[in-house]
Amino acid sequence: MSKTCTAAFTAFALLAGASTAQAASSPGGKDKPTPPSISVQRASLQPLAAITERIGGLRILITQVNFPGVPDRSACRFVIRVVNEGRETVAAHTLLHTYDAAQAELNTWMVPTGTLAPGQSAERLYSCKTAQYLLLDRQNMSGWPGRCTINGEERAPCPLSLSVEANLNLIAKD
């Protein structure tokens, strides 16, 4: 089975399991509340204002899956899928931060896309702590929007626009 098929199957199994999971008691006799359901949020993120010739087409889909009644790291999976819907071959990475309901930082990941030709996609699966908010770090100049590779040429600042969809509340939408 190919790596992409395996990742897609894993994501599907996680989503199916999450939808049928029932709330259970956590160790210690206390019920762990199920996080509120958050509808899919969308944002269109643009490169730095100095870029006049922007390249579009990179879409990032972020899904957090929770399993109630299981300890935090075992109960949470973070599925990130990147799709190149543009006309250029691109490679980039971004820094993601997640926060809890009180907006205290929980997780930080450097997420690489790998090199994606037009029409290709990549998927990553991470363990996480249950979060409610997501931030794509736009201050880190070693990743997007500071740097990326377009058709094999490193570009700084990166002219790539991102379309983001997540089942977490997005902080600092553009």
Residue (of 80, 66, 142) closest to 111 by Cα position: 80
pLDDT at residue 3 tops 50:
no
Buried b (16+ CB within 10 A) or exposed e, 122-138: bbbeeebebbbbbbbeb
- What is the structure's pLDDT at 172? 65
The pLDDT tens digits of the residues spanning 5-39 come to: 444 333 333 333 333 333 333 344 344 444 556 78
Could you read off the pLDDT of 127-156 as tens digits, one per residue?
888 899 999 988 888 889 999 999 999 999
Domain boundaries, the chain: 3-19+41-170
Residue 136: beta bridge partners? 96
Which pTM value belongs to this model? 0.73
- Predicted confidence (pLDDT) at residue 96 exceeds the cutoff of 50: yes
49-82 residue pLDDT tens:
888 889 988 999 999 998 777 766 567 899 999 9
Q: What is the CATH number of domain 3-19+41-170?
A: 2.60.40
